[in-house]
A and B are shown apart, each in its own frame.
Chain A
Amino acid sequence: MALAPHKQRPDRERSPDAEPAPRVRRARTTPPWWFALPALLLFTFVVLVPSARGLYYAFTDWDGLDPHFSFVGLDNFSDMLRDPDAMQAIGHTLLIAVSITVVQNGLGLLLALGVNTAIKSRNLLRVFLFAPAVITPIVTAYLWRNLLGPDGAVNSLWDAVGLGGLRQDWLGSPRLALWAVVAVIVWQFAGYSMVIFLAGLQSVPKEVHEAAAIDGAGPVRRFWSVTRPLLAPAFTINLMLSIIGGLKLFDQVYALTGGGPGHATDTISTLIYKDAFTLGEFGYSIALAVVLTIIVAVASTGQYLVLSRNERAAS
């Protein structure tokens, strides 16, 4: 399991569990099971039961209102395979998740390396660069909808620096809109990745770096052989957060493009919303949610297995 700053962790070494079993039988606290009951009831009511029902509805033609509906087997899923909008939305979702993961973490790592130096403004930069991550995503998305518009600040900026040829209708062009969405998310969350990488970087002891430098390792070599392995837990957290966040993406697409132009930026989540609440196809919509669940489960389990193996190899 990945964890970041050491100061947050209690001292493992002193845990009696780490010692050989004591010979003398001693008093052991055994908290009763009912401590878990309130959490379990809430979790069952809000997550487990509705998810199980959702799974069932995915095999029906329920419209969300009519109490009479019938079991249709795998029809919703075979419809999905024939539905170009759904296939496109699945493609967009995967493309967005992968792009965000690569770009956001790449930039986040560079920012962290830049901030984790002797520069005087490092504390200020850390606070400032992280700030977008606490702002409500729907709000930043509306801000960017204006900035990226035909008369928005981004185009004005190109004009101001004499690069008017780069003017675009960023969100109105089917070719560019998806990348505009990715750019907005990267703008907002690169600082988040940076903060997690920074926590990892600060756990790298200075002495190790100095020793490597004395042994003649250059900065690139020191990063690759000393820093990178020790950043493994930070990588695990960051990749997990961005890939799952990217797969579930809804707010920013809803506010920036509404899935358009046409269906050029629809994701699985925006399609779930549209199918359920504007088309009344609850059964089909939930079938899409089941597909999303499978994708998220496969991606996070796969990533966890690969990364935790790397983490073990690195330590």
Chain B
Amino acid sequence: MNRYRRRTLALELAMIAIALVVGFPVYVLVNLAVRPASDTSSPITPTSSPTLDNFTQAWQQGALGGALGNSVLVTVCSVVIVLAVSSAAAYPLARVAARWSRGTYLMFLLGLVLPFQLASLPLYQTMRDMGLLGTPWALVLFYSGLQVPFTVFLYVGFLRALPRDFEDAALIDGCTSLQSFRYVVLPMLKPVTVTALVLNAVAVWNDFFTPLLYLSGSAQQTMPVAIAGFVGQYVTDWNLIFAALVTSILPVLIVYFVLQRSIINGFAGGLRG
């Protein structure tokens, strides 16, 4: 299995060919994004005189800077809140065998099955009454609740398999529950926190349906909604649209390639059921 034979070489070439096929759309994306509108050659022919004009134009006309800022704000706030409240909630749920604890955990599990489509329409009305519609805070509030069941589920699964000795020792040494959570439990939760962070950040950053509902008609947009609006406005000006798409993908791909090991492990470590 470890020897590099002729068959291994054939497999290697086949896999690289597959990767090229998978990468083909990205080549076309970049190729058209740097192409001036006057160039009407086939989309697969390399652009003869590439330009970055589409990018400056897309950035200015699409208000992509503001959308990027909103996306970062919403993602950072939501993920911090979700991780904080979920890890705290998981602590008693994993350690206490009382009825209230099991009942609460079951209720969170129920939340895993409920599709958000059911809650999002009545919640739309509540957000409107609270005056939150059209602001990023509506989204922060929404994700802070929506992502709780899955994140609690991750943390409880991990905590249950974690030895209690350290917490018991901390108790004997006179730690309060809060101190024991902060200084003993939280540091041990680091691996599952990375997984929860990656999965939540990607889910929040990429979500389209919720901001489409809660931000529609306002000047505040997140990246996915700004892109959809941009496509609606420049229907056939694909060179410009592609420049906008590249702009929206770029920050994500940079983060991905820099942190690829943690991110891939985060996805692979997802404990779901």
Contact = CB atoms under 8 A, between A and B. Distances in A.
A77 to B, nearest CB: 15
B161 A12 contact: yes
A177 to B, nearest CB: 18
11 contacts: A4-B271, A8-B269, A15-B162, A37-B89, A42-B81, A43-B111, A48-B111, A134-B256, A135-B249, A143-B245, A277-B213
Taking residues whose C-beta sits less than 8 angstroms from the other chain, chain B's interface range is: 35 or more
Contacts of A31: 91-92, 95-96, 177, 180-181
Contact of A117 (B8, B223, B241): B8
Given A138-B208, A192-B267, A196-B268, A45 B145 contact: yes
Contacts of A32: 92, 177
Interface residues of A, number: 117
A59 interface: no
A179 interface: no
B115 A36 contact: no
B95 A153 contact: no
Q: Which A-B residue pairs are the 4 nearest by beta carbons? A: A46-B145, A39-B89, A50-B119, A199-B268
A50 B11 CA distance: 52
Given A35-B177, A39-B85, A248-B115, A153 B25 contact: yes
A308 B163 CA distance: 25
Which label, helix, strand, loop or mixed, suits the secondary structure of the A interface? helix
Contact of A38 (B89, B113, B271): B89
Contacts of A78: none
Interface string B206-232: 101100010000000001100110010
A55 B118 contact: yes
A111 interface: yes
A255 to B, nearest CB: 7
B167 A136 contact: no
Given A57-B122, A118-B4, A130-B264, A40 B89 contact: yes
Nearest to B245: A139
Interface of A: 1-5, 8-12, 14-17, 26-33, 35-40, 42-51, 53-55, 57, 64, 111, 114-115, 117-121, 125-140, 142-144, 146-147, 151-153, 156-157, 159-160, 187, 191-192, 195-196, 198-199, 206, 209-210, 236-237, 240-241, 247-248, 250-251, 254-255, 269, 272-273, 276-277, 282, 285-286, 289-290, 292-293, 296-297, 300-301, 304, 308
A46 B123 contact: yes
Contacts of A49: 122
Nearest to A1: B273
Contacts of A30: 92, 95-96, 177
Central interface residue in A1, A50, A206, A286, by most chain B CB within 10 Å: A50
Nearest to A134: B256
B137 interface: no
Contact of B163 (A14, A111, A151, A157): A14
A35 B163 contact: no
Contact of B206 (A38, A137, A293): A137
Contacts of B267: 130, 133, 192, 195-196
Contacts of A38: 84-85, 88-89
Nearest to B94: A31
Nearest to A33: B92
A198 B268 CA distance: 8
A153 B28 contact: yes
B179 to A, nearest CB: 11
Given A15-B163, A136-B248, A144-B25, A46 B146 contact: yes
Contacts of B24: 153, 157
Given A51-B122, A248-B117, 5 more contacts: A32-B177, A43-B149, A47-B149, A236-B273, A282-B121
A27 B268 contact: no
